[in-house]
Amino acid sequence: MKTHLNVKAPSNILSGLFEEKKWISSKFLYDEQGSQLFEQITDLPEYYQTRTEARILLENLSTWKSVFHEPSALIELGSGSSKKTKILLDHVKNIESYIPIDISEEFLADTVTQLQTSYPEIHIQGVSADYTQPFTLPDLKGKKKVIFFPGSTIGNFEPGEAERFLGNIRSLLEPGDELILGVDRKKDETVIEAAYDDAAGVTAAFNKNLITRINREHEASIDVESFSHVAFYNSSAGRIEMHLESVRDQVLSVGGHTIEVKKQERIHTENSYKYDPEDIIQLGRSSGFLLQRVVSDEREYFSVCLMEVV
Ligand code: AVJ
């Protein structure tokens, strides 16, 4: 299933720790343990995103039916276990091909095997790739292409990156093709902050797992409890930020280097941008998409945007 492999070697988990403002790219959150913790996050009472998006998908079937009004290929970016996709596959006709794209080759192979058993009539072709880097699609034989990018994953891109990324996706498409994009909305800060600092401490464990990962991969022995989880909404930037805050002055020994960390100094580990429809119109304008329809829950916590290629 290794048809179109195009993976860029990830930059080092340590590199940002040598900069003036320490940071670790959020992509390092998803090792095996981190991916499991994220799965747990999606079930938390405070983390409304996943269940809200699933409900929006399920409650707007007529919208998806009209998107797939002709023989189509559904292409999912970062498919994971394809849980939300099953809502589309179960209820919408005309999806003749399903192309899940995921960086984890092993996970992808398992998902493809399982899905092919459940949906024998759909042609399923996994692509193992880092979709944030340029990649190519298999020949889809003139079928309408619908890109599915759920989960508000777009929120992890910096605004300029999001533009460039969607511009790249646009270049894989032709007029008539569409994009279904899930976004977490701007809202009352206390609601957002609770979703990233849950009472059970799962998000804290998810964040601190970066330290565990550094210890494992770089033979370090940093005290995981010497950092605390900090999450706050930065309203001027329109994003929630996650940081690891040092509880004391300490010197980290990693990969043959020493890194000085002051008490209360923070390592920035994630940004998750929130998007309102105005922001999406803007993003579409600069990347070659026109916002066609927005479907949301009644509280407008989350939106699924339908965007057409212009
Ligand atoms: C997977 C990027 C959508 O930003 O909400 C969850 C990751 N970080 N809790 C998000 C995350 C902390 C999540 N995304």
Buried residues in 12-44 as b, exposed as e (16+ CB within 10 A): ebbebbeeeebbbbbebbbbeebeebbeebeeb
**87 pairs with which residues across the strands?**
none
Query: What ligand 1 atom has the least distance to the C-alpha of 270?
Result: 8
At position 240, the amino acid (one-letter code) is: I
Q: What is the pLDDT of residues 120-178, one digit of tens each?
A: 999 999 999 999 998 999 999 999 999 999 999 999 999 999 999 999 999 999 999 99
Whole-structure pTM over 0.85, yes or no? yes
Q: What pLDDT, on a 0 to 100 scale, did the predictor assign at position 3? A: 32
Q: pLDDT-based confidence at 107, cuts 50/70/90?
A: confident
Please compute the mean of the pLDDT values over residues 92-102 and round it to a whole number: 96
For the Cβ of 150 lying below 6 angstroms from any atom of ligand 1, the answer is no
For the Cβ of 152 lying below 6 angstroms from any atom of ligand 1, the answer is yes
Q: Please, what's the largest Cα pairwise distance for the chain?
A: 62
Residues 6+ apart with CB under 8 A from 237: 271, 273
At position 229, the amino acid (one-letter code) is: H
Check whether 1 has a pLDDT greater than 50: no
For the Cβ of 34 lying below 6 angstroms from any atom of ligand 1, the answer is no
Query: What ligand 1 atom has the least distance to the C-alpha of 231?
Result: 12
Please compute the mean of the pLDDT values over residues 183-198 and round it to a whole number: 98
Check whether 301 has a pLDDT greater than 50: yes
Which residue has the CA at smallest separation from atom 8 of ligand 1? Answer: 196
Which residue has the CA at smallest separation from atom 4 of ligand 1? Answer: 272
Which residue has the CA at smallest separation from atom 13 of ligand 1? Answer: 153
Query: What ligand 1 atom has the least distance to the C-alpha of 156?
Result: 2
Which residue has the CA at smallest separation from atom 3 of ligand 1? Answer: 153
Mean pLDDT of the chain: 94
Q: pLDDT-based confidence at 10, cuts 50/70/90?
A: very low
Please tell me the distance from the alpha carbon of residue 67 to that of residue 71, in angstroms, as a whole number: 10
Stretch among 39-48, 54-63, 104-113, 234-243 having the lowest mean pLDDT:
104-113
Q: What is the pLDDT of residues 19-37, one digit of tens each?
A: 999 999 999 999 999 999 9
Please tell me the distance from the alpha carbon of residue 50 to that of residue 39, in angstroms, as a whole number: 10
CA of 304 to the centre of ligand 1 (A): 16
Which of 39, 43, 156 has most ligand 1 atoms within 8 Å of CB, for mutation?
156
Q: What is the DSSP string of the chain?
A: --SS-B-PPPPPSSGGGGSSS-B--GGGG-SHHHHHHHHHHTTSSS--HHHHHHHHHHHTHHHHHHHTSSSEEEEEES-TT-HHHHHHHHH-TTEEEEEEEES-HHHHHHHHHHHHHH-TTSEE--EEB-TTS---PPP-TTPEEEEEE-TTGGGGS-HHHHHHHHHHHHTT--TT-EEEEEEEPP--HHHHHHHTS-TT-HHHHHHHHHHHHHHHHTT----GGGEEEEEEEETTTTEEEEEEEESS-EEEEETTEEEEE-TT-EEEEEEEE---HHHHHHHHHTTTEEEEEEEE-TT-SEEEEEEEE-
Q: What pLDDT, on a 0 to 100 scale, did the predictor assign at position 11? A: 75
For the Cβ of 272 lying below 6 angstroms from any atom of ligand 1, the answer is yes
Residue 9 phi/psi, 5° resolution? -60, 125
Let me know: does 183 contact 152? Beta carbons within 8 Å.
Answer: yes
